[in-house]
Amino acid sequence: MGEEPRSPVTVERMSVLFRVQHILLMVSLLVLAVTGFALMFHDNWLAAAVIRLEGGVLYRGIIHRSAAVFLMAQLVYHAFYMLCSREGKRELREVWLTRRDFDDFFLAMRFNLGMDSKYPRFGRYGYKEKFQYWGATTGVFLISVTGIILWAETFSMRYLPKVVLDLTLIVHGYQGLLAFVILLFWHLYIVHLHPSVFPMNRAWLTGRVDAEWLRQEHPAEYEKLKGEGVI
């Protein structure tokens, strides 16, 4: 717990490049959320104030679409990086979803409910990190698809039935809300509220975590690094 003296040994968990990608992702998602929800909840006084702050609906749209283009560019860059670079390939292997992650999730739930005595031993990324990563990535991809359909409104109206556009608008808004809710609560927990990191896991800024924290929360990764002689 917090009072225990922590080992000063730290290990790198996020390289500079990933930290930069993470911060850019955070900024563009926040801009998209603020401009998007302002339109979605335009009846709300706060949303109305935000739209006025952004210079009206015209500039709200321009800011939203600029941030969206930036986000899509990041997604493309990230995909290439994960598939082609040495660091990316290694990380992709670590974060790849396997059957074990779902087993880990159910095992953790059973343990938390007191139905099992074992808690899963997570590797570099546990189900919490992996679910969030894949959720966010597919989410960004899908919301880009609906966003482009809405952006190219004349094209879409030419070739798609109106009902598809109505649905796209609904789905786009709720996709955004769902992604926002998931990212907010999940980050709130694993980066801030989780007792081992409270008030904040600073890995997203410094890139490093305590080896002791790793031993507690990601024991398999800890042992692997120990075996490699990193710690």
Return residues touching another protein (CB under 8 A). 1, 39, 42, 48, 51-52, 56-58, 108-109, 111-114, 117, 119, 153-155, 157-163, 166-167, 170-171, 174, 177-178, 181-182, 185-186, 188-189, 193-196, 216
Residues 131, 97: Cα–Cα separation, whole Å: 8
Q: Which residue has the tokens 């907010």?
A: 184
Pick 123 or 139: Cβ nearer another protein: 139
Residues 40, 177: Cα–Cα separation, whole Å: 10
Neighbours of 83 (CB within 10 A): 10
> Cβ 162 to another protein, closest distance in Å?
3
Pick 195 or 229: Cβ nearer another protein: 195
Pick 51 or 69: Cβ nearer another protein: 51
Read off the tokens for 131.
């679910």
> Cβ 223 to another protein, closest distance in Å?
16
Pick 1 or 84: Cβ nearer another protein: 1
Read off the tokens for 83.
């598939």
Pick 45 or 86: Cβ nearer another protein: 45
> Cβ 12 to another protein, closest distance in Å?
25
> Cβ 106 to another protein, closest distance in Å?
12
Residues 15, 20: Cα–Cα separation, whole Å: 9
Q: In 3-state terms, the chain is what percent helix, strand and coil (to 5)?
A: 75, 5, 25
> Cβ 52 to another protein, closest distance in Å?
7
Pick 136 or 171: Cβ nearer another protein: 171
> Cβ 133 to another protein, closest distance in Å?
16
Integer CA distances (angstroms), 146 to 39, 82, 165, 173, in order: 16, 24, 9, 9
Q: Where are the beta strands (DSSP E) in the chain?
A: 10-12, 208-210
